[in-house]
Amino acid sequence: MSEQLSFVSPTANSPWGTYLSQVDRVVPYLGPLARWVETLKRPKRALIVDVPIEMDDGSIAHFEGYRVQHNMSRGPGKGGIRFHPDVTLEEVMALSAWMTIKTAAVNLPYGGAKGGIRVDPKKLSPQELEKVTRRYTSEIGIIIGPHTDIPAPDVNTNAQIMAWMMDTYSMNVGGTATGVVTGKPLHLGGSLGRVKATGRGVFVTGREAARRLGINLRGARIAVQGFGNVGSVAAELFAEAGAKIVAVQDHTGTIVNTNGLDLAKLVPISRTDGVVGFKAGGDIVPNEDFWNTPCDILIPAALEGQLTAERAQKTTAKLVLEGANGPTVPQADDILAERGVLVVPDVICNAGGVTVSYFEWVQDFSSFFWDEDEINVRLDRIMMNALNQIWDTADKHKITLRTATYAVACERILMARQERGLYP
Ligand code: NAD
């Protein structure tokens, strides 16, 4: 008998509600391990912190921060830090849980964790941003560490922010603890290939899924939502493979060009002005039109909950590659499955980032750094092995790739839980 969690009220399509329904779907495939499934439905530990800073104008501002360690049965917590004004504890819980599933799906020796601050970093000066980062790191410093929980970048956080986090943690413990975060600058223990790793993983899994579906990448039409680290890198790799990027949406709007957008021009402009800054290269259309732009492959790579039931009905894509975490609500998942649209789920599709984060952490501990070819060869091998195993599981049970990924991952997590036993 287990009580409901009192501190969240998930709805069917909210991030934690989505995650819970994904876990429920996998129970029939867990056999005797299903006895342990409740352990996946509650975070191991959730920390809420106050982050006060003195602003440039002398006023004092307070921001709410979180670090959630969902599960550590298979190893230390691992997961990014998000700076966004809409971050909530419930969202961070779901993101941390998806990290648990993801690290197990690609068989990395980690659990799952995630953090965030309710802040719009675009409204902060560089000094204010550094203060928010350092104070937050110090507050969550009681639960993170190279052997306990290792943060990384996520939406609106980057290598500079990781450098400040590493420095703050190091100052507090007295030493230089490069292994406490990943996604660091190269000369501070960062890894080659990390910046592009998530987009590369989306490409590697997407290329294999396209091959199995008989979609020729040369000339394939691709729509990408979110044109940041994940979306823009994936788009570039698909374009290099001969695909046409026909629609791109970011927080500034949507641009469409049925002949294919010129990424060499779009990418640099988008970094300063957003994708609508590239008016010369395509048509700016209403945001909702993004979802019915004719395409073969759809890559949601912005935020969770974007692919709703209505949008799932509209899309012409035959393949959805989830670059973002949790972009598809459960009802949309069912609609896509009914319509014969294949979804490569987030927990495998975007696992390239955490995989190279793992390489970075290993390199930091051994103080021996690999070249980029070695990183990419190892990354491609891990992603392909994981995808093939999941595909076999999906074929065996005649289930979606998402449920198959959860089946493979949950079995690993719950087996570890069972073997460790309950303390005390
Ligand atoms: P980012 O901050 O670099 O880019 C986010 C992009 O989404 C930007 O182009 C932004 O304009 C766009 N966006 C934001 N709100 C939007 C909206 N309402 N509509 C349309 N576009 C919007 O972030 P990122 O690192 O590329 O992460 C994107 C997604 O991928 C997130 O869900 C993140 O959790 C996930 N992810 C990232 C990594 C990584 O290594 N960066 C790894 C795994 C998963």
**Rounded mean pLDDT for each run of 10 residues along the chain, 424 residues in total:** 86 92 95 97 98 98 98 98 97 97 98 98 98 98 98 95 98 97 97 96 98 98 96 98 98 97 98 97 98 98 95 98 95 96 97 98 97 97 97 96 97 98 95
Residues 282 and 315 in one domain: yes
Q: Within a domain: residue 258?
A: yes
| Catalytic status, residue 114 | yes
Identify the residue whose C-alpha is closest to ligand 1 atom 5.
228
Residues 203 and 330 in one domain: yes
User: 229 vs 32, 233, 334, CA distance in Å?
Assistant: 40, 6, 29
**Contact criterion met (CB below 8 Å) for 246 and 257:** yes
Pocket test for ligand 1, best of 83, 99, 251, 358 (most atoms within 8 A of CB): 251
Distance from chain centroid for Cα 180: 19
Residues 87 and 226 in one domain: no
Q: How is 334-350 classified by DSSP, letter by letter?
A: HHHHHTT-EEE-HHHHT
Pocket test for ligand 1, best of 84, 191, 250, 328 (most atoms within 8 A of CB): 250
Residues 167 and 207 in one domain: no
Indicate the SS3 state at residue 229. Answer: helix
Minimum-distance ligand 1 atom for the alpha carbon of 156: 2
Q: Within a domain: residue 95?
A: yes
Which CATH number fits the domain that encloses residue 63? 3.40.50.10860
What distance in Å separates the CA atoms of residue 284 and residue 3, rounded to the nearest whole number?
50
How high is the pLDDT of residue 1?
66
Number of structural domains (the chain) is: 2
Q: Within a domain: residue 120?
A: yes
Task: Tell me, using a 6 A CB cutoff, whether residue 353 lines ligand 1.
Answer: yes
Task: Tell me, using a 6 A CB cutoff, whether residue 257 lines ligand 1.
Answer: no
Separation of 48 CA from ligand 1 center, angstroms? 23
How high is the pLDDT of residue 355?
98
What distance in Å separates the CA atoms of residue 253 and residue 248, rounded to the nearest whole number?
8
What distance in Å separates the CA atoms of residue 285 and residue 273, rounded to the nearest whole number?
16
Residues 339 and 201 in one domain: yes
Q: Within a domain: residue 378?
A: no
Separation of 52 CA from ligand 1 center, angstroms? 26
- Kind of pairing between the strands at 221-225 and 112-117: unpaired
Q: Within a domain: residue 55?
A: yes
What distance in Å separates the CA atoms of residue 158 and residue 81, rounded to the nearest whole number?
9
One of 114, 196, 244, 318 is an active-site residue; which one? 114
Separation of 174 CA from ligand 1 center, angstroms? 34
CB-hemisphere CA count at 13 Å for 245?
Answer: 30
Separation of 319 CA from ligand 1 center, angstroms? 20
Among the three residues 292, 316, 349, which one is the final residue of a domain in this structure? Answer: 349
Residues 215 and 336 in one domain: yes
How high is the pLDDT of residue 269?
98
Residues 300 and 217 in one domain: yes
Residues 149 and 217 in one domain: no
Task: Tell me, using a 6 A CB cutoff, whether residue 249 lines ligand 1.
Answer: yes
What distance in Å separates the CA atoms of residue 388 and residue 204, rounded to the nearest whole number?
12
pTM value is 0.95
How high is the pLDDT of residue 13?
84
Residue whose C-alpha is closest to residue 68's, from 60, 58, 59, 78? 78
Which CATH number fits the domain that encloses residue 202? 3.40.50.720
Task: Tell me, using a 6 A CB cutoff, whether residue 91 lines ligand 1.
Answer: no
Residues 276 and 169 in one domain: no
Residues 121 and 263 in one domain: no
Separation of 152 CA from ligand 1 center, angstroms? 14
Separation of 292 CA from ligand 1 center, angstroms? 21
Q: In what order do the strands lie in the sheet with 283-285?
A: 283-285, 253-256, 244-250, 221-225, 297-300, 319-321, 342-344
Q: Which domain holds residue 88?
A: 43-175
Pocket test for ligand 1, best of 303, 354, 383 (most atoms within 8 A of CB): 303
